[in-house]
Amino acid sequence: MKQTAAYFLAQLKRAARLLPGQILADIAVCSCVGVFACLLIAQGALAAEGTRYRIGMVGDLSDSYLGFGIAAVQEMDDSRFMIELVPMSEQEAEAALRRGELYAVMRVPEGLMESIVYGENDKLVTYTAAQGQQGLGTMVMGEITDIASTLVTCSQSAIYAMQRVLADQGRGDEIGWETDKLNLALIQMVLDRGGFGEVEVLGYGDGLSLELYYFCGMIFLFLLLSGLLNSALFVHRNSAFSCFLKARGVGAFWQILGEYLAYLLLVLAGLLVLCLPLGFGLGRGYLGIPEWEGMGAAPFLAFVPVLFPVAAMFAALQFFLFEAADGIVNGILLQLICGIGMGYLSGYFYPSAFFPEKMRMLGELLPSGAAARFAQAGALGKISAAAWTAVFVWLSVFIVLTALVRWRRIR
C-alpha cells in the first residue's frame, strides 16, 4: 500500500509540472473557441434579421387573380418577411438557381386558375430546390405548399356549398354578392392566421431553451475533446516500467487509479479555465440564458459542481482510449474520432430531437448521451437517480476496462 501511495504522489507531481503548460493551452483553445462562437452568433443574428428565401416563379403568371394573389402575399401577408417571390423566365430561374441566387423555383402550370375556379384541381405546382438546399428549409416549403393546397380546396368547398344553398332557396340573384363577401372573409382569415394560435417552444433535451442547450453542448464538447490537450501526460510511457511497478507490489488496477486521478486533475483544471470566462460573461450579462436571466452568475456557479462527475467520466473514457491505443499518435486520433462521433450522435452540434429515432436512441445510450442528460438536468436542478447511475456505471466501466488492458500488457 505504501508503494501505491508513493506512485500516486509521483503521478500528482508529474501532473503538477505539466499543469502550467496545459492551462496556457486551455486558455488559448477557449479564447479561439469563444471568439469563433461570438462571430457565429453575431453572423447568425444578422442573417436572421435580413435573410429571406428568394423563390423564383416561372410558368403561366398571366392570370389577373394569380397576379393579385402574388402581390397580396408580397405586400400584406406575414410571410413577406421570410419569402420573396420573384417572377422570371425558365432560363433566368435555372441560371439563378445554379448561381445560388434562388433558394428554389416554383413552376406554375398553364391553366392553373381555370382549374381552381372550375373545381378540377388537376394542375400541380412543382417545387424544385437546389441539391445543397435540401434540408429544414425544404421541409418548411413543403409544409407551406401543403397548407396552401388545403386552403384552396377547403375554400372551394365553402364557396360551392354556399352557392348551392342560395340556389336551393331561390336566392340566385344574391350568389354573386355573397360569393364576394365569402371570398373577402376567407382572404381576411388567411391574412389574420397569425392570431389563431400561440407558438410555445417547449425546449430541447430536458426542456432547456436553445441557448442553454448549446451552452451545455459547448462545455460537453470541450470536456469530451480535452484529451487532445492533455495528451502530454501519456508521452514516454512503456510497459517495462509498468512491469517494474508490478514487481514492487503496485498492481494494474492501482497503477491505473493513480494515473487516472492525476489525469483527472488536468481535466478539472481545464474545466475551471473554461468556467471562469463563462461565469464572467453571465455575471456581466454578455451571455443570455433565459432560464438564468436576471440572476447573474449564481446559477452557473451552482451548475459547475454538476460538471465534475461528467468530467470524471469523460476523463475515464479518454484514459481508456489512450491506454488501448498503440502509441500517442494513435491515441490522439482515436480521441478525435470518438469525441466528434459521440458529440454528434448525442446532439452536441445539433439538437438530437431532429435525428431519426434509432440514431437518437443510440446517442442517448452512449457515454456522451448519459453526460448530456445528467448535466442538462443539473442545469435545471432536477438530477434523477437514473442519471447518477448512468454516469457512475460508465465511469466504473472505463476504469475497469483500462485496468484490464494494463493487466494484459504486464502479465
Share of residues in the chain with pLDDT > 70 (%): 70
Spatial distance between the Cα atoms of 199 and 202, rounded to a whole number of angstroms? 9
What's the average model confidence in pLDDT over 71-89? 71
Q: Residue 397 has what pLDDT?
A: 93
Mean pLDDT of 331-353: 83
**What is the average pLDDT across 324-342?**
84
| Residue 152 pLDDT greater than 60, yes or no | yes
pLDDT, mean of residues 176-184: 82
Q: pLDDT: is 13 or 79 the higher one?
A: 13
Per domain, the residue ranges of the chain are 2-46+204-410, 52-192
Give the 3-state DSSP-derived string for 310-376, with helices as H, strands as E and coil as C: HHHHHHHHHHHHHHHCCCHHHHHHHHHHHHHHHHHHCCCCCCHHHCCHHHHHHHHHCHHHHHHHHHH
C-alpha cell at 319: 484514459
Distance CA 23, CA 25 (A): 5
Mean pLDDT on 62-89:
68
CATH number given to 52-192: 3.40.1710
User: Which range has the worst mean pLDDT, 52-56, 123-127, 334-338?
Assistant: 123-127
Higher pLDDT, residue 244 or 188: 188
